[in-house]
A and B are shown apart, each in its own frame.
Chain A
Amino acid sequence: MRRGGRRPTGRGPAPPTPWWSSPVPIVAVVAAVAVAVTVFLIRGYLQPSTPPPTPAPSAESAVVQTITTLDVGRTEAVGAGGVKSPLQKVRATPLVGPLGKPEVLYIGAEYCPFCAAQRWSLAVALSRFGTLSGVALTTSSSSDVYPDTPTLTFAHSTFSSDALEFASVEETDRDRNPLQTPTADQERIFEQLNSKRSIPFIDFGNRYVTVGAAFQPDVLQGMSWQQIADQLAGNPQGPAASKILGVANWMTAGICQQLAGPPTAVCGGPEISQLRSQI
C-alpha cells in the first residue's frame, strides 16, 4: 500500500497560455487609441485655420452698390418669391431708436449660415427706405452647415433714413470670436421675444419679428457675391434672387406696417400691398 504522495494523473504539463488570451490585445487597443488621439491633437494644434475668401475692395463696393440700389418695381414684382411669411406678430411697446424713429433691430453672427441668407434680404429691404453703408462682404463659417455661404456683414454698417433707424449686432466673427455685444435693452428684447435665443433675430419695431432664416442657405452655395448681386439685379426670378427678394418683400411689408406714414413708392405697390394685407 502506497503511503503519502499523489496519485499520478497520467496527464502531461498544462499547455502554455495563448498570446491572444493575454492582456496584449486589450493593451494594444488602448495604446492605439491613445496614439491616435495624440496625433489628432497635434494635428489640430499645428494646422492653421482656413482663411476666408476675401473679395477685392472694388468688387466689394460693386456688389454693395448693386444690392442697395435695386429697382423697387422690378424686385417687388417677385412678390413672396414662393416663401412663406417669416414675420411673427408681437405685442410690445413700439421700438424706437435714439433719433426717435421706428427701429429695426438685427442680432446675428458672422459664422451663422442662416444669418448669411437672411442678411441679403434685410439689406435689400432697408435700402428701400434709406441708405445702407459700411456693409462688407464675408462668408459664414467653413466648419458649419452650408459652409462658406457668401454673405454680407453688418458689423460696421450705418443706416440713414428719414423714416427708420437700424441697429445691428454681429455677436461673433466667422470663427466664433466675440465681435459685438448687444446693449442691455437689446438683450432684453432678445430674451423677451426670442426665448430660444436663435439667430438671426430681426425685430421690426416690436410689431413683427423674424427668427431664423426664411429660406435655406443652400440656394447660395457655390455662388459668388457678384453672381448673387447680378442675379438680384438682372434676373429677380432666379433661384437665389427669388428667395432673397421674396423675403425682402415680406420684410418691406413689415417695415411699412411699422411706419406711421409709409412711403407710397415703396409700400403702395400691388405686391407689397398684398403682402401687407396678409401679415
Chain B
Amino acid sequence: MLYVVLFFLIFSLFLYVVLGGADYGAGIVELFSSKENQKITKKTVYRVMGPVWEANHIWIIILIVILWIAFPVYYNIIVVNLHIPITIVLLGVTLRGVAFVFRHYDAVIDNSQKLYDGMFKVSSLITPIFLGMVFGGLISGHIKIVEDIATLSFYEAFLKPWFNIFSLCTGLFFAALCAFLSSVLLIGESESGNENIYVRKSTIATIVVFTMGLLTFTYGYISGNIFVIDFIKNPFAILAVLLSAILLIPLWKTIKKGNKVWSRFFAGLQVFLILMAALISHFPDIIITQTGSISLIENIAPDSVINVLGISLIIGGTVILPGLFHLLKSFKMIKILEQHNNPSI
C-alpha cells in the first residue's frame, strides 16, 4: 500500500506541476506581454482554463493531505521551518484565485478589471517563485533539526532554510517552467494568426528555463550543495535531463506542424522527466538538513493508516480520474464542434 500512496503523492505532484504550473504560467505570459497581446491572452486563458480551472488547483490540496496523513514528519518540517514562504504562497493562491474569478464573473465590465488583471498577473509570478523556493528550501541543506527549535535564532530556524540564493534559483526555475508549459499550451488554443505570439513566448521561456537550470546547478555545485552533487553523479538523473533536452526537437517539430496534442505531450513529458530526475537523484531522502538527510520512506505513519489511505486514494481515483478526463474531453470536443459549425472562429 505504501507504493500506492507514493504513486498518488508523485502523481498529484506531477499533475499540480503540469496543470497548476500551466495555470500560473498563463498569468506570467500575460504579465510579460504587450498590451494588445495581454487582451488576447486573457481571452484565450479563460477559454482554456475556465472549465478545468478549479480542478487544477485541487491537486495541491490532495498533495498536502497525503503528506500530512502518510508522511507527518515531512509535513511537520515543511510547515514549521518553511512557515514564511508557505504563508506567502497561500496569500498568492488566494489573491490569484479571487482575481481570476472576479475578472471573469464580475457582472459589470469596467475599470476594476485593471485591478483584477494586475492582481492576477503579479500573484501568478510570485506564487510559483515561492513554491519553487519551498522545494529549494527542502534540498538546500540549510534546515537545522534540533530537539528544541526555540534554541535557534529566528534567522537560523525560519529564514535561512529558504532565504538563500540556491532556493531563489529553484524558485525562478520553477516559474520559468510554468511559463514554458503555458506558452506551449496556448499555442494550440489561440485563434489563428495569434499562434506566433506564443511560439515566440515558448522560445523565450525555453531559454529562461535552460539558463535558470544551468545557474541553479552551477551555483549549487560551487556552493557544495549535496543534492546538486548527487544529482550530477546520478546517471539516471542525468539521462532524464538529457532526454528532456533532446525532446525539444520533436517538440519544435510538432509545434511547427500545428499538432497540439503531441506538442503538449512532449512538453508534459519534459517536465515529468525533470521532476523525476529531481526525485530519483536523492530518493528517498528528499529533505536535506545541515546534519544529514531525512528519508521519506522511513518516516511514515503506521501501517493501518497507510492501508486505509491507499484504499481511499484508489476509490477516490476511480471516481475522479474518469470524471476529470471526461471533463477535459467534452470541452475539447465541444470546441471542435463549434469550429465546424462556425467557420469564422
Q: Are the chains A and B members of one assembly? A: no
